[in-house]
Amino acid sequence: MSHPRGADRRSCLPPVVFAAALICVGAFLIFPFGAEVPVPGQCPTGFGWGTPGGTGKAKELLEDQNFEASPAAVRDLEAGIVDERLISSLQATAEEHRVCVTAFKEGHYFLPGVPESTGIPDGYGEAGGLPNTHYFGRAADIRYVEGEPVGGSGTSRAVLGVGETLASIPAGRRPDQIIGPEAWTRRLGLGYEEGWILDRDQLDLHDEHIHLGYIEEDSTRNTR
């Protein structure tokens, strides 16, 4: 059977060279000259890249090279849903650490099949019935720090560093609903006065991410 002349030429290339050429062409189509190529490992593939939208602090956060987010979290920032205090805390964190936020409001859920609402559903530990800070755009879930998952890394230098950065934020601006893996919480040695939640059931439920939230609309419960 005869083949097109172009196909004959392609078949003369070694397979490895041909594969490399295809990868280079694909990379150019996705990231043309002048475009910024993402840093691998900061978030799962496909998170947080594109031209940032939004305005003000939300746009500044989206443009920060140390911050990435899921598509749903990006949309929440662009839509102005996220509390400015939370944005400021994430900006302070991103000054020193590469972080990935997977949820603010959209796409967050406590229990599979249970729609999100203003309150935490019964069955989610002892927090059932308390206000759902995610629903009001006053909470974020950080699942990756410096390219590594929070789950199983609670005592790593990078993940502990996020806790130390949060603790350095003045009490009136720091989240007052900070929950993470038990090992992370114990090693930091911070408590309710600083905004950390110590309830055992909540530590178990946040073993794979760091939750940052503001319980009240315009104040915090931190005392130091």
DSSP 215: S
Q: Does residue 197 share a domain with residue 106?
A: yes
pLDDT in the model for residue 48: 52
pLDDT band of residue 22 (cuts 50, 70, 90) is very low
> Which segment of 13-22, 67-76, 139-148, 152-161 scores lowest on mean pLDDT?
13-22
pLDDT in the model for residue 18: 42
- Positive or negative torsion for Cα 198, 177, 209, 38: negative
- When comparing pLDDT for 219 and 54, which is higher? 219
Residue 224 falls inside a structural domain: no
* Count of beta carbons in the 10 Å neighbourhood of residue 158: 17
* pTM reported for the whole predicted model: 0.78
Computed over every residue of the chain, the mean pLDDT equals 82
Counting every residue written for the chain, the total comes to 224
pLDDT in the model for residue 51: 57
Residue 167 falls inside a structural domain: yes
pLDDT in tens, 122-165: 888 888 888 999 999 999 999 999 989 999 999 999 999 999 99
Q: Does residue 116 share a domain with residue 73?
A: yes
Looking at the 3D structure of the chain, how many domains does it have? Answer: 2
Domain span at residue 27 reads 1-37
Residue 31 falls inside a structural domain: yes
pLDDT in the model for residue 203: 95
* 80: Cβ contacts below 8 Å, ≥ 6 apart: 54, 55, 58
Q: Does residue 30 share a domain with residue 70?
A: no
Q: Does residue 153 share a domain with residue 184?
A: yes
Provide mean pLDDT across the span 68-73. Answer: 92
Provide mean pLDDT across the span 21-26. Answer: 42
> Which segment of 39-43, 99-103, 115-119, 151-155 scores lowest on mean pLDDT?
39-43
Residue 51 falls inside a structural domain: no
Q: Does residue 94 share a domain with residue 27?
A: no
Q: Does residue 186 share a domain with residue 112?
A: yes
185-190 long-range contacts, CB within 8 A, separation 24+: 185/154, 187/154, 187/155, 187/160, 188/160, 188/163, 188/164, 190/163
Q: Does residue 72 share a domain with residue 182?
A: yes
pLDDT in the model for residue 115: 86
| Structure tokens belonging to residue 52 | 């940032």
Q: Does residue 114 share a domain with residue 28?
A: no
Q: Does residue 61 share a domain with residue 7?
A: no
pLDDT band of residue 113 (cuts 50, 70, 90) is confident
String of DSSP letters for 49-118: -S-----HHHHHHHH-TTEEE-HHHHHHHHTT-S-HHHHHHHHHHHTT--EEEEESSTT--SSTT----S
Q: Does residue 66 share a domain with residue 28?
A: no
Residue 111 falls inside a structural domain: yes
Give the C-alpha separation, 33 to 193, whole Å. Answer: 50
Give the C-alpha separation, 178 to 140, whole Å. Answer: 10
CA 200 vs CA 20, 127, 132, 154: distances in Å: 51, 11, 19, 15
Q: Does residue 204 share a domain with residue 143?
A: yes
CATH, residue 192: 3.30.1380
pLDDT band of residue 111 (cuts 50, 70, 90) is confident
